[in-house]
Amino acid sequence: MNAGKPLALALRDARVWGAKERLFERAAPLLSDDGLSQLVEAAQVCDGLVKGLKHADWPFEPWQGLRRLVLMVMQQVTQQAAPAPGTVRGGPATKVSLVLRA
């Protein structure tokens, strides 16, 4: 998308179709470039955990690593989707915060 491709074409090039495509269409605009690169790096660490590779800052158990990755995705999305401080969308402004623990 940074190279000017429309989201639908970028997803097709990345072989994302069907229900996953609809999810990506909703989530992709909510992720910053820095946040996305952090998530890709975290996904690489998770992949290594599944293959038995240890990482100093991550739990050894692959399921715990996957849980941490999912929480990181949710934190990125909720931070980007939250309204600006002091604004109201149908009620009091709130900020969602997740704490990641190893």
pLDDT (tens digit per residue) in 9-67: 988 888 888 888 888 888 888 888 888 889 989 999 999 999 999 999 999 999 999 99
Q: Which residue has the tokens 């999810």?
A: 23
Domain ranges of the chain: 1-30, 32-79
Query: How high is the pLDDT of residue 43?
Result: 93
Angle 33-50/62-81 helices, nearest 10 degrees?
Answer: 170
Query: How high is the pLDDT of residue 47?
Result: 93
Please tell me the distance from the alpha carbon of residue 96 to that of residue 44, in angstroms, as a whole number: 26
Please tell me the distance from the alpha carbon of residue 100 to that of residue 67, in angstroms, as a whole number: 10
Reported pTM: 0.65
